[in-house]
Amino acid sequence: MITFAWHHGAQASPAVMDITIDENASASGSQASEQSVLLESLEDALSADVFDARPLAACTPDGLDDLLAAEREAEERAAAPAAAAAGRAAPVLSGAERANLVNWMTSAASQLGLGADALFTAVGCLDDLRLRPGAPRALMRGAACLWLAAKWTHGARAPPASAVVATLPACACGGCEGCGAGAGASAAAAARRQLLRAEGDVLRALDYGAAAFRRPTAETFLRAALLRLQHQAGGRRERGAAASSQQEKQQQQQQQQQQQGVASLCSLLAEQSLLECQLRGFRPSAVAAACVAYGHALAGRPLTALQLAAATGCGGAAALGAVSRAADVLRAVHAAVAAAAAGGNPYACSLRWLRLDAAALTVPPIAGAGDARVALLAAGRKGGLAGDDWAWFLPECAAA
């Protein structure tokens, strides 16, 4: 099992994550083999594709207003006196415990062939449970959240209980001597019974899940934003002159490939954001907008504030301020995940994206003012952007 140590510096805002392997815990065979494949050969890891990634066409750009309205309704329900009192009743999992659990859920989602929609819904349900620190059966609750989210998003194609149990490390349930893929038949049967009981507990805690499952996630907002950007780019091509030469056609194809690469990078950042408990304090729409803003900056194609607002619906000083703070945390998370992979201990989201789009993993973090991508942002500010459009980006470099 992978454990994490999360260190927060004096400035408290960005998280820096270190990863270590617990030698006394055993991982499932498929997870261990995935790690060895990553270290041995990237090409071999790309030979299989078991993920059910929805196309962008599954979202409609005109539905962004409805998503924002649903987000406001969810906030109003959470702010109700009874819900607020219940939320303050007990402390929740620490950042390290939650990151460990989310990392396992990401690995399990990969093994089960679940899409990002199921993973984000499951993590949202997990956060709604407000599990106590050191909860003995937290992992089984996480498995139940993932299974319920799979049923909600995939319907009849959701994996059976036996498949979910097979992803559990030994011992995950906290009540038997061994479970997961390497356990015997009796232990696996006991784990399935515990999963069913955990499912009932989760449903009761979430008032049978109606509000939790319908609430839009950061992944929902991100897909809508990426589709809007795709439509905007398509509109610009239609208004331009038709390609009259082979060279112009190749340039258009190259632009489309670059847009797809940026979309993959933004989606990778969104999955990385699930690890960081600080980002729970932001609206899902703000987290999605931060992924869009920082993803384009990483790709060397920064958006203006107007472009970001048009794509994500996050406009105005207050909304852009929240996006700036979320992007600052996201920047540190991206750097920490990249450092863990470079050190030979990758997070599950890195292993997952080896098969989804490995090129997104090769984009390096921006660590300082000497990076050429920072110069692009500075040039944009001098070229007429509002003075604070990119104040969030590497604030220590702004004064340099």
pLDDT values of the chain reduced to their tens digit, one per residue, 400 residues = 223 333 333 233 334 443 332 333 333 444 334 333 333 333 333 333 333 333 333 344 457 667 777 777 777 666 554 444 444 444 578 889 999 999 999 999 999 999 999 999 999 999 999 888 877 789 999 999 999 999 999 988 999 999 999 998 865 544 444 555 555 677 778 888 999 999 999 999 888 867 788 889 999 999 999 999 988 776 555 555 555 567 777 777 777 788 889 999 999 999 999 999 999 999 999 999 999 999 999 998 888 888 888 999 888 888 888 998 899 899 999 999 999 999 999 999 999 999 889 999 999 998 777 788 877 776 555 544 444 445 545 444 443 4
Report the distance separating Cα 197 and Cα 110, nearest Å.
Answer: 24
Query: Residue 192 in contact with residue 161, Cβ under 8 Å?
Result: yes
Beta bridge partners of 15: 8
Which pLDDT value is given to residue 221?
93
Helix (H, G, I), strand (E, B) or coil at 319: helix
Among 140, 265, 109, 273, residue whose Cα is nearest residue 202: 140
Beta bridge partners of 8: 15
Which pLDDT value is given to residue 283?
93
Which pLDDT value is given to residue 78?
65
User: Torsion angle, CA of 126/338/56/54, rounded to 10 degrees?
Assistant: -50
Report the distance separating Cα 39 and Cα 108, nearest Å.
Answer: 20
Number of other CB atoms surrounding residue 200 within 10 Å: 10
Number of other CB atoms surrounding residue 241 within 10 Å: 7
Complete domains list, the chain, with CATH: 1-60+217-235+258-400 (no CATH), 90-213 (1.10.472.10)
Report the distance separating Cα 321 and Cα 42, nearest Å.
Answer: 39
